[in-house]
Amino acid sequence: MNRIDKKFKDLKKTGKKAFIAFITAGFPSLPVTEKLIYALDKIGVDILELGVPFSDPMADGPVIQAASQEALRKNTHLVDILNLVKKARKKTEMPICLMTYYNPVFCFPDDKFILEAKKSGVDGVIIPDLPPEEGKGFIAAAKGRGLDTICFLSPTSSKKRIKLISGISQGFIYYVSLTGVTGARSKLPEDIRKNVRLIKRYTRKPVCVGFGVSTLSQAREIKKIADGVIIGSAIVKKIKENSGSPDLIKRVSNFVAKLNQ
């Protein structure tokens, strides 16, 4: 049982739901990212998503795109992020997933990436542009090493698709709450409850909701119907607002803590 499975098992025992935070690795710098990892663990973030900067994202909205571009300008590479996780593992057991596009993994390449990610202490990977039909080899190899591949479902997913993803996804199922890219929204889609219930008819795996969630009230609403909530753009925006401030870690931590009340 890896850290992700253990976390959901522990949360279930206490009747709690997972709070999953996303930050872009290397934004505003890798040393700051390292400090944020420890700070977010300390305030009770259940699972951390570390975004791997990529030049041509397909799922990221403007806030995360801008953060990725800044990290790339500072020469943040996948190997640097793996080394960061390895270093952080000396101080934290918080489950850590990498959210990356497939190109950096392909160039690593697959087998080496899986081996190095597991050795570094990464628990799972989320790859938006690697559909399971094309990623069977990667998913099987990752599973063999104990590295979870977390797959997506969306409001447009058919029942056939739900069954497929329910059988393949490990760790949890990532439900994209809307059709579009990441980013804060003033209102959650009305079909979330219905769609999460439908997914849960086909799986016992945790279902976590992300994309568009940015406020405490929205997070609480999601936790009533799903096994976890994922917040990214709002956190990355807060990091940007405090970039260069000596109080960045404190301000971001306080902001995230309020979202997880």
Q: Which residues are catalytic?
A: 49, 60
Distance CA 65, CA 150 (A): 21
Distance CA 68, CA 22 (A): 12
State residue 85 phi and psi, 5-degree precision: -65, -40
Distance CA 75, CA 73 (A): 5
Distance CA 81, CA 35 (A): 14
Give the strand order in the sheet containing 228-231.
148-150, 124-126, 96-99, 47-51, 18-24, 228-231, 207-210, 173-176, 152-153
Distance CA 46, CA 167 (A): 24
Q: What Å distances lie between residue 62 and 3, 16, 134, 175, 200, CA to CA?
A: 31, 32, 28, 20, 31
Distance CA 173, CA 204 (A): 10
